[in-house]
Chain A
Amino acid sequence: MTALTLAARDSSTMVRRQLKRLLRYPSMTVQLVVTPVIVLILFVYVLGGTLGAGLGGGRAAYVDYVVPGILLMAVATAATGTAVMVASDMSEGIVARFRTMRISRGSVLTGHVVGSVVQQLLGMAVVIGVALAIGFRPNAAPLEWLAAAGMLTLFVVAVTWLSVALGMKSPTPEAASNAPMPLILLPFLGSGFVPTDSMPTALRWFAEYQPFTPVMETVRGLLLGTPIGHDAAIAVAWCVGIGAVSYLWARRTFDRA
């Protein structure tokens, strides 16, 4: 067997392990799906009337605006779960056992990443379903839906590798739950919930140049037809950069520990 097929085989074994674990421990998944749904409902029904008026529409306009922000917030929330899962797995004897076996070194991490990505894509489908039920009206063609899904998947993969690295760097699962916390703020400190135009200069500068904003603008553009401009290219560059650096960081940490 070549090194590559060996790696693929071990990785798929580890993905199966991780999916089984997620099924056995559903409370984490439920929390990751329920939290963004609650935030969506709060923002639409509590704040949406006023915020929508500011956008020049009403509650209906705000549902359309806020969905990409909620989706990225869901990814950021899930990052916490992934980091905790990885940190607690690393503290268990089973990972020490894997290290003493002749298996592809990266497969343990790949298992975590693929498991989390699957979990988050399912979560996003639920959020989009709820959004459609309460008035989200995207005008995207099938190809645009596909592109939006691709953009979100790329983003999820990048953030998940980052949370895996953060989880491995954390001494305890408790510490791991804090590490990705700042990510949850990024949709707020960007164009997730209100357009950046209304923000004070410094904040606005940060909001426009941080990585979450181009991703949200791209998804918004694909689903709702707002202008995308350079955002798509910038978003892809951010995702590839964050993903690649996090991947190398995670692998290095795993090989050293």
Chain B
Amino acid sequence: MAFESLSDKLQEVFKKLKGKGRLTEKDVNEALREVKLALLEADVNFKVVKSFINKIKERAVGHDVLESLTPGQQVIKIVNEELTELMGSTQSKLTFSNTPPTIYLMVGLQGSGKTTTSGKLAAQIKKMGKKPLLVACDVYRPAAIKQLQVVGSKVGVPVFSMGDATNPVDIAKAAVSYAKNNNHDLVIIDTAGRLHIDEELMNELYEIKEVTKPQEILLVVDAMTGQDAVNVAESFNEKLGIDGVILTKLDGDTRGGAALSVRAVTQKPIKYVGMGEKLEDLQPFHPDRMASRILGMGDVLSLIEKAQENFDQKKAQELEKKIRKMEFNFEDFLEQMQQVKKMGPLNQLIGMIPGMNMQKLGNVEISDKEIAHIEAIIQSMTLEERRNPEIINPSRKRRIAAGSGRDIQEVNRLIKQFEQMKKMMKQLSGMTKGKKGKFKLPFM
């Protein structure tokens, strides 16, 4: 359920309200049902959804419908604001101890991504100019220590381990004194994945906490977690008193409602999000962006930020004009593609666009390799052909195909897709005119 559909549904609900100055409870209820479904589809815990909706209702009923906004948007605005607030209004950073070494304890269920995240975190901290030490306390899972060692060597951070025959509590203790003696100012303790209902292993964590007195206990949570996220977060928090959460695997297409659930039951901030397989792919968490994502609105802010970083403002404006006038041609297309490429891997970008996801895009090919092919085809066109795609006849197509090393079907497909895209862009740019009041993208 993408923002468009939630937005459309709300528009539908509010259509009959035109001319009304205030929202009645019944209007709001109807609209909130849609919001509720959107949140449930995003895996936000049912109880969290329920109390959240009640809160929204209080705020929305009797609220003045602003002139400039449709009631549907008004509700979304309130929902988004409240979501952001619940998520923690500001970005929360990792803290450091006054008396080094600073100790971070990584905890979580099996398969949530603790070891990978430990490595990513170590890499980031090393960049800050600190001297981190990774500690392998997962003595249960086969080859877990080896995994941390490999990850450690990739990011150039030493790994402290004592094999899998030593008690994790003793390993942690020894690691801390090793860190002190060897001038490591930061220690990241990787622990075994465990179930929150496993008394024995939860006690082990508690003991590690007691002997190491960590600065931060970080709960690593898989962003795809469903309703159970509340139980997990609550148990870990009750037992250990966590300080923050790291949300992993957010580079998938999950809406990540677990983030909201975890936040709601623990009141602890989400500090980082894991966004990919590479060791650099750990990013600070932005509450507002997560709110949009859960609602299915896409991570528009990240996209805007990336666009601003990489886009030539003037060129973007020119482009916008061209799209409006339907003058957009292959030359612009090529230029735009090169600009977009600067922003990062395409599949990451697509995920940030509201209403776009892999599934929706269906057959539209978007891997970076295919982009290279498209570039080759366009570059094999003459300037005239790029500016007036209409003149491309079969003989020209054959030449383009030969020049780019692609086959003629591919050239045909590109031209066809280009025409379709032109139409789609026209529609999109119409949207930004505020006719239907949808989202405005920075470069459209």
Our verdict on whether A and B bind, yes or no, reads no
